[in-house]
Amino acid sequence: MCDLSADGYPEQVTFRRYVALGDSFTEGLGDHDASLPNAVRGWADRVAEVLAHDDFTYANLAIRGRKLLPILAEQVEPALAMKPDLVSIYAGANDVLRPRINIDGLVAAYDVAIGRLVDAGAHAVIFTAYDPGGSQVFGALRGRFAIYNELVRQVAERHGATLVDFWRLRDYRDDRLWDVDRMHLSSAGHQRMAIAVLDALGVRHDLAPLELGDRLVLSVKERRTANVEWATSHAGPWVKRRLTGASSGDDISPRWPTPTPIVRR
């Protein structure tokens, strides 16, 4: 890392190769952009655009629906082969949502993988999972998420990784930071996460939150109708995939599979 200025930011960007690993959160679902691979953009692209300079490249190996162990098995070795000096990885939330889970075992494997990336010379950025306490659907799993997150914080401390503590970002209680499926961040949510990542890294930037539209106020009847529509269009297919062992990422390829120069927007 470079020397810090008086305000705590690096004097200049020093990362040369950034590789993003993970699931739909990092692939960018919810941040729709038909001009980009997989028709999404996402917070990792937004971070890469800020970090971009003449000698900078970016790869994104994240694939929607992936659980933690497949992410480690499929993405860590290709990432190491690219010799990155910055790696971000978000994994585990899809596991915590399953009926059965060995949280300690999963985080132990995660710990080993983060150690390998750091030992290879990469600075790691890792995340806690979102606090589902306000969700009628996932709120019952709040205790699981809290245990998982505390173990992830220990991994970050052990390896000197930058931690983005999603659990504590309370502005994500705003529905406007989530896509219509209520499972993935909206464009505004991805922009907010890019800001959180850059701030956690101590990188100077001029990203600003995207303007949010008026908060939608629904009557009891309208909310009931919206919930039924959501259950039919999004929750139902999600549950079916879990029951059948299918994944939304089964036919999806990584968006940026090789280190690619990035142009700032």
pLDDT tens-place values along the chain, 265 residues long: 444 455 554 455 579 999 999 999 999 999 999 999 999 999 999 999 999 999 999 999 999 999 999 999 999 999 999 999 999 999 999 999 888 899 999 999 999 999 999 999 999 999 999 998 876 667 688 999 999 999 999 999 999 999 999 999 999 999 899 987 868 999 999 999 999 999 999 999 999 999 988 777 767 666 666 555 655 655 555 555 555 665 666 689 999 999 999 877 7
Q: What is the residue extent of each domain of the chain?
A: 17-260
Fold held by 17-260: Rossmann fold (3.40.50)
Contacts of 97 (CB under 8 A, 6+ apart): 138, 141, 242
Which residues make beta-bridge pairs with 59? 19
- Helical H runs in the chain? 24-27, 43-51, 68-81, 93-96, 103-119, 142-159, 187-201, 220-230, 236-244
Give the DSSP H or E segment for 53: none
The predicted model scores a pTM of 0.86
With both helix axes pointing from N to C terminus, report the angle between 103-119 and 68-81 in degrees, rounded to the nearest 10.
Answer: 10
- CB-based burial label for 176 (10 Å; 0-12, 13-18, 19+): middle
With both helix axes pointing from N to C terminus, report the angle between 142-159 and 103-119 in degrees, rounded to the nearest 10.
Answer: 30
